[in-house]
Structure 1
Amino acid sequence: MEKTAEFYVVKRGDTLGEIAARHRVTLEQILAWNPEIEDPDVIFPDQRIRVAPPRTHGTYEPFPGADFFQSSVTSPIIEAMGYRLIEEGCSEYAAGPDSQWSEADRKSYARWQRKLGFQGHDADGTPGRKSWDKLRVPAVYA
């Protein structure tokens, strides 16, 4: 099987070992690329797992796709995005960002989108590729 994606969405019954084998990587690599996984025996359906090394050609996180930004998602990418929004003067955080997507993230991102001149649906707080690329979220995976 050729690796075609950087991420895999967990399905019911999956194990990290099986996912690693399917993508021709080791369990240790999966754990290194997904530091938010504290227990390799505990994964959940619909969890998004990095199954390929991060791109090394840039210093910024690539756009993870609009579906990534849901309350069920916890990732250091979200926290890094939050700190960038604060740096850009677009904070709606009461206590600072964390790694789980929240309403404060959405409101802060909507401020960023409006700062860029987006309006209506394009400024709803869900990141899109254009606004994400302009935010330049630092790469969080080494």
Structure 2
Amino acid sequence: MEKTVEFYIVKRGDTLSKIARMHRVTLDQILEWNPEITNPDIIYPGHRVRVAPPETEGEFERFPGADFFQPSVSSPVIEAMGYRLIDEGCGVYHDGPDRRWSEADRKSYANWQWKCGFRGQDADGIPGKRSWDKLRVPAVYE
């Protein structure tokens, strides 16, 4: 049976300890699975927290190619990318990311490219393999 990667979206009043108890895991596990959390006392509503261990193989989405990122494309990979961009402080979403590629995705990804040191055409908001691999979008299982 294939294991599903699980995430929890932080709500007002949540703490990492409370989230860990809700999912029957330890705080240390939560911190191990979420290396982007550098201070366990600071989390915000809307933050996406991994509450199950990542897959050992296929942990991250492979680069789907630049042609994938078009307004006609709807995929959970785009939504997962959006949440990673938010985690990295690059998201410019009003209501959060969704499955359809949008201008907010492009602007958020351009912010990520700038954060990575890309400039000019390399920071146009369309993912390229190098910046995608650095982002480490969690594998999506449906």
- Alignment TM class, shorter chain as reference: 0.5 to 0.7
Unmatched tracts of structure 2, length 5 or more:
1-55
Tell me the residue number matched to 2:131. 131
Structure 1 residue ranges (4+ consecutive) displaced by more than 6 angstroms after TM superposition = none
Taking only the aligned residue pairs, the percentage that are identical comes to 74
Amino acid at match of 2:77: I
Deviation (angstroms), 1:141: 2.1
Tell me the residue number matched to 1:72. 72
Tell me the residue number matched to 1:109. 109
Tell me the residue number matched to 1:122. 122
Deviation readout 1:48-67 (Å, 9 max, x if unpaired): xxxxxxxx832000000000
The 5 A counterparts of 1:10-89 are 57-89=57-89
Mapped partners of 2:131, 2:122: distance in 1: 9
1:94 partner SS: coil
Amino acid at match of 2:113: Q
Amino acid at match of 1:132: W
Q: TM-score, normalised by structure 2?
A: 0.60
Mapped partners of 1:57, 1:63: distance in 2: 15
Tell me the residue number matched to 1:99. 99
Q: TM-score, normalised by structure 1?
A: 0.60
Amino acid at match of 2:129: R
| Equivalences, count | 87
Cα RMSD for the two superposed structures: 1.1
